[in-house]
Amino acid sequence: MKFLSLILLLLASNAYAKKIVVAVIDTGFGYNAESLKEKHLCKYGHKDFTTDQKFVKILNTKDKVPLDTHSHGTNVVGIIDKFAGDADYCIVVIKFFVDNGEEKNAISSRLAIEYAVSLKPDVINYSAGSSRADEIEIDAIKKFLDKKGIFVAAAGNSSKNLGIEGNFYPAMYDKRIYVVGNLDKDGYASTSNYGKLVTDWENGTNVEAFGITLSGTSQATAVKTGKILKILRK
């Protein structure tokens, strides 16, 4: 019995010590020198689905981290860090977005989501979206959610009532997705999409991380992801 109790104790402690894995699907990472001090990047899994194929060379990871030339993805990772508290986690950086590449971004998004799901992370943060649905994305996300994965998505910044005045995906793919709207000092931010499909509201206005200050449902989504990590840790 003592031996069995010891085995159960070891299993429990290993489960508790498991590092939480977060896949951030965005514009990459490492926009400025301050961000290169980031300590929560996973060793493996980073991938670039754009034609940029630029990488951060000085980060100590086994897989190369796709370089952020936009600042958005770097800001998102920093915000997650700020709100995750002492959670034991690491972030996989998956790049799908480049400026002025709408059609290419649609293809890259599909590939990035499929790839992220294949990694079997605990959480996926998607601080972006479009008005067009994609069946392949829907299937991949549904499989992820069916296996108890947590998908956190931006509600969008078009000042529309989701599902009534306009659509935004992947936020609207499945009711199990955390759909995050943006707050400001006066309440709901005027640019944020809203309505019954928005499940959560966070202050995503003028959020600074790594010296980058941005506003929108993207930042609100990162805040929510950080808070989820803190809850998972507890």
Residue-range domains of the chain with CATH? 18-233 (3.40.50.200)
User: Which two structure tokens, joined as six digits, stand for 81?
Assistant: 């860090």
Segment 75-88 mean pLDDT: 97
In angstroms, the Cα distances linking 18 to 9, 43, 167, 220 are 14, 15, 37, 26
In percent, the amount of the chain with pLDDT more than 90 equals: 88
Q: How many CB atoms lie within 10 A of CB 6?
A: 10
pLDDT given for residue 233 in this prediction: 83
Q: Using CA atoms, how far apart are residues 33 and 36, in angstroms rounded to an integer?
A: 5
Q: Using CA atoms, how far apart are residues 117 and 124, in angstroms rounded to an integer?
A: 8
pLDDT given for residue 174 in this prediction: 98
Which of 36, 74, 83 has its CA nearest to residue 56?
36
> Which residues does residue 152 pair with via DSSP β-bridges, in sequence order?
125, 178
pLDDT > 60? residue 12: no
pLDDT > 80? residue 234: no
Segment 9-23 mean pLDDT: 61
Mean pLDDT for the chain overall: 92
Tell me, yes or no, if the pTM score tops 0.85.
yes
Which of 168, 175, 225 has its CA nearest to residue 199?
175
Residue 68 CA, chain-centre distance (Å), reads 15
pLDDT given for residue 73 in this prediction: 98
3 versus 180: the higher-pLDDT residue is 180
pLDDT > 50? residue 16: no
218 and 204 in contact (C-beta within 8 Å)? yes
Q: Using CA atoms, how far apart are residues 37 and 17, in angstroms rounded to an integer?
A: 24
What percentage of the chain's residues is helix, strand, coil (to nearest 5)?
35, 25, 40
pLDDT given for residue 18 in this prediction: 82
pLDDT > 60? residue 17: no
Segment 61-84 mean pLDDT: 97
Contacts of residue 181, Cβ cutoff 8 Å, sequence gap at least 6: 155, 188, 189, 192, 193, 194, 198, 200, 201, 202, 217, 220
pLDDT given for residue 111 in this prediction: 98
pLDDT given for residue 14 in this prediction: 39
pLDDT given for residue 3 in this prediction: 39
pLDDT given for residue 103 in this prediction: 87
pLDDT > 50? residue 38: yes
pLDDT > 50? residue 167: yes
